Structure 1
Amino acid sequence: MGHNTIEVQPLTSCIGAEIAGVDLSKTLSDEQFQDVHDALVDNHVVFFRNQEITPEGQLEFARRFGTPEVHPIVEGSNAHPELIEVLKPAGEGASFGTGWHTDNTFFEKPTIITMLYGIDIPPVGGDTLWASMEAAYDALSDGMKELLDGLVAVHSASVAFDPRHTRDKYEGKHSLKYKYSEAVEVEVEHPLIRTHEISGRKSIFVNPMFTLRIKGMTDAESAPLLKYLYEFSTKPEFFCRFRWQEKSVAMWDNRCTQHYAMNDYVQYRRFMRRVTIGGDTRPV
């Protein structure tokens, strides 16, 4: 798709693009915002370099896409509950988003877009990977597509946010703080194959962090099929890798991606600011 007001440089043949010619500290014109929006839908994840963004500015830009969410478990900043300050002190291992996942699929109406702003970035390490679930779906055999069509997956935060394994965060002893709510235990159902409401393209909509099982099957019966989909959909052919710099922004479409935060910079401090944007409808 052509863009009149921005420069879009794809990173791979199926996912990821860097956008130039945009100053996110200023209010974008309707035309430029539409170009950014279209580039995001086309490329699944987009990146901006050298952006000066205040917390208020980040929220203002996010609101152009939808409603910023207040996470039911992870505590936001005091001034702006919608913004999560993702701090990893030097000497502490990364522990947020460090496995393949799609943000907040345990919501009844899952997050559609995430915006992450890099403020304090280590000199090396801490890259993030994104995988295209659309490219993965397209690469499935016709027989597998037929098998998956109509299946429903059950999602929950009960494993990822299990208080038994993340007690230090619930007790306020970690740089990232959790608060327990009923959202931890709730189970929700989403189609295993999702159709993007804007592009109309299909993608695989399960992830190992929040998907428990396939509806109508036991955990044991679901496990082999889900394991295959997790491994298949995150093959290198389907992903891009982003090296963070200070003042970089990443925005990604959770309707058609998974992502993975590298935990390879224990000796360094990193500080990011995240906002997620809520969906208006349940996936179909």
Structure 2
Amino acid sequence: MLSLEIGPRVAARTAPGFDDRPYERFAVQPLSPTIGAEISGVHLGDPVDDELHAELRRALLEWKVLFFRDQDITRDQQRDFALRWGPLEQHPFYAFVHPGNDDADVVTLAKDATSGGAENEWHADVTWHSTPSWGAVLRAVEVPPVGGDTLWADAAAAHDALPEELRERIADMTAVHDWQHTFGLAMEDADRERLAEQFPAPEHPVVRIHPETGRRTLFVNAIFTTRIVGLPEDESDALLRRLTRELSRPEHQCRFRWTPGAVAFWDNRATQHYAASDYWPQRRVMDRISIAGDVPVGPT
């Protein structure tokens, strides 16, 4: 008989002791109890002073992904906002998958009748890198009349919702993350072999400690995590299915309906995301700028 896991799934939004003072420079409208909030009163084309920067950082740590509507900004203004948070990251494989990109640090995700959306699986960005992305700023350039939403999952809430014995079991585990079975499919064999030497598959902790909040987050995903180190293949596959299933629960998620000029700014260390591919053959164009991250650290 199928075993059901039903009942309340109420996770904490923040770690104990989080600074929960009211925000003074903008208004916050939550999209869910733990993750996602729309921010009003901020124009991303304007310079971000130190006070606003500090409040936005606190809001990002609390809500993990922030949304800004009606942002009439240019690529350069989007880039300037992203640079306020750290050095930008150039995606090393994007040129193989989408040739002709003009800006090395701006990934244009153009999907239409000839190129359907392929990001419809839960993942954190570039976990196959030794230093996965810190975060990203995604701007809606053109959106379909219906569909094309993006969902984000709270990786700390998903971790905390696991049974205690499972949390203890995975605390010291590591997993391999690889790109060859995804981005590698669009490459010639010679290119794939050359880049495999430059970007070997790293091992990351299954449970990552968020470097600013100290919370434990699930750091495995269905796209890039290939196996858990030290387990037989069948056990590794079963455990990965269990962990990714927890991340896919709606109680840990928010969903954002895009409008022209909307911007999402998310913490890649605390979240996973899923781009719904339900609009083909309608057109959807997004500009994404990623912020460089650091080496993931586990509990031990």
Same fold (TM over 0.5): yes
Aligned residues: 273
**Aligned equivalent of 2:173, options 145, 151, 154:** 151
1:67 aligns with 2:90: no
1:38 aligns with 2:58: yes
SS of match in other structure, 1:157: coil
Tell whether the 8 Å contact from 2:209 to 2:296 is kept in structure 1 after alignment: no
**Aligned equivalent of 1:80, options 84, 103, 106:** 103
Question: Shift in Å at residue 108 of structure 1?
Answer: 0.2
1:110 corresponds to which residue? 132
> How far apart, CA to CA, are the structure 1 residues paired with 2:147 and 2:247?
24
> How far apart, CA to CA, are the structure 2 residues paired with 1:248 and 1:183?
38
**Aligned equivalent of 2:117, options 94, 102, 114:** 94
Give the residue type in structure 2 aligned to 1:218.
P
Q: How is 1:1-284 mapped onto 2 (pairs within 5 angstroms)?
A: 1=20, 2-75=22-95, 78-90=101-113, 92-95=115-118, 97-163=119-185, 166=186, 181-182=195-196, 186-284=200-298
> How far apart, CA to CA, are the structure 2 residues paired with 1:91 and 1:241?
26
Cα distance, 1:183–1:7 mapped onto 2, change above 3 Å = farther
Cα distance, 1:101–1:117 mapped onto 2, change above 3 Å = same
Question: Shift in Å at residue 112 of structure 1?
Answer: 1.3
Cα distance, 1:107–1:32 mapped onto 2, change above 3 Å = same
> How far apart, CA to CA, are the structure 2 residues paired with 1:187 and 1:78?
26
Question: Shift in Å at residue 138 of structure 1?
Answer: 1.1
Tell whether the 8 Å contact from 1:77 to 1:83 is kept in structure 2 after alignment: no
Question: Shift in Å at residue 78 of structure 1?
Answer: 5.0
> How far apart, CA to CA, are the structure 1 residues paired with 2:166 and 2:158?
12
**Which string of whole-angstrom CA distances, capped at 9 and with x for unpartnered residues, describes residues 232-271 of structure 1?**
2210111111000000001111111111111111131111
SS of match in other structure, 1:247: coil
Gaps of 5+ in 1: 171-177
Tell whether the 8 Å contact from 2:101 to 2:108 is kept in structure 1 after alignment: no
Question: Shift in Å at residue 149 of structure 1?
Answer: 1.0
RMSD (Å), alpha carbons: 2.1
SS of match in other structure, 1:162: helix
1:175 corresponds to which residue? none
TM-score in terms of structure 2 length: 0.86
> How far apart, CA to CA, are the structure 2 residues paired with 1:228 and 1:158?
23
Question: Shift in Å at residue 225 of structure 1?
Answer: 0.5
Question: Shift in Å at residue 14 of structure 1?
Answer: 1.0
> How far apart, CA to CA, are the structure 2 residues paired with 1:278 and 1:119?
23
Between 1:182-191 and 1:222-231, the stretch displaced more is: 182-191
> How far apart, CA to CA, are the structure 2 residues paired with 1:202 and 1:63?
27
**Which string of whole-angstrom CA distances, capped at 9 and with x for unpartnered residues, describes residues 95-126 of structure 1?**
2x221111110110110101100011111100
2:16 corresponds to which residue? none
> How far apart, CA to CA, are the structure 2 residues paired with 1:210 and 1:237?
23
1:174 corresponds to which residue? none
1:173 corresponds to which residue? none
Tell whether the 8 Å contact from 1:162 to 1:184 is kept in structure 2 after alignment: no
Tell whether the 8 Å contact from 1:120 to 1:271 is kept in structure 2 after alignment: yes
SS of match in other structure, 1:119: strand
Give the residue type in structure 1 aligned to 2:36.
G
Between 1:80-89 and 1:241-250, the stretch displaced more is: 80-89
> How far apart, CA to CA, are the structure 1 residues paired with 2:101 and 2:149?
28
SS of match in other structure, 1:187: coil
Matched residues, percent identical?
40
> How far apart, CA to CA, are the structure 2 residues paired with 1:32 and 1:56?
20
TM-score in terms of structure 1 length: 0.90
